[in-house]
Copies of this chain bind each other. A is one copy, B any other.
Amino acid sequence: MRDRIMGPGVPPGTPATQELAPHFSQWVYESVFADLYDRPPLELKTRVLLTMVALSVQGRMAQLRGYIRAALNVGWTREEIIEAIVQLAPYQGVPATHDALAAAKEVFDAVQKE
C-alpha cells in the first residue's frame, strides 16, 4: 500500500532518517502505514488528502511536498489539490496557503519534467 501512496521504489522516510535511524524508518513503515492507514472505513484517497492538509497547517514543507505528490499518485487532480489548499486559508491563514501553493507548484513542475 505504501507503494501506491509514495510511488513504487520510493524509499521510506528521508535520506537522513534512513542513515541515522533505520529502525525509525522501519517503524514508520510498519506502525504508521500498515497499522493506521490500512483500515476501513476511510478510503486511502481521502486519507492522503487529510495528511496533506495536516502537513500544510504545520508548515512541514519537505513532507508536504511528498504528500502533494502522493495526492497525485492516488488520483486527486491538480485542480482538486489546489482547491483543498485554497480552502484552508481561513483556518490555517493566508500565509500558510501561499507556502503550500508554492510547494504544489514545485511538485507539479517536477512531475511534468519526469
* Residues of A that sit less than 8 Å from B by CB: 13-17, 19-21, 23-24, 27-28, 31-32, 35-37, 39-42, 46-47, 49-51, 53-55, 57-60, 62-63, 77-80, 82-99, 101-102, 104-105, 108
Q: How far is the CA of A12 from the CA of B31 in the complex (A)?
A: 18
- The answer to whether B16 touches A63 (Cβ under 8 A) is no
Task: Count identical subunits in the complex.
Answer: 6
Prevailing SS type, chain A contact patch: helix
8 closest cross-chain pairs (CB), A and B: A60-B95, A63-B95, A16-B105, A31-B31, A16-B102, A54-B91, A57-B57, A42-B83
- The answer to whether A82 touches B20 (Cβ under 8 A) is yes
Q: How far is the CA of A11 from the CA of B28 in the complex (A)?
A: 25
Contact of A90 among B36, B46, B62 (CB under 8 A): B36
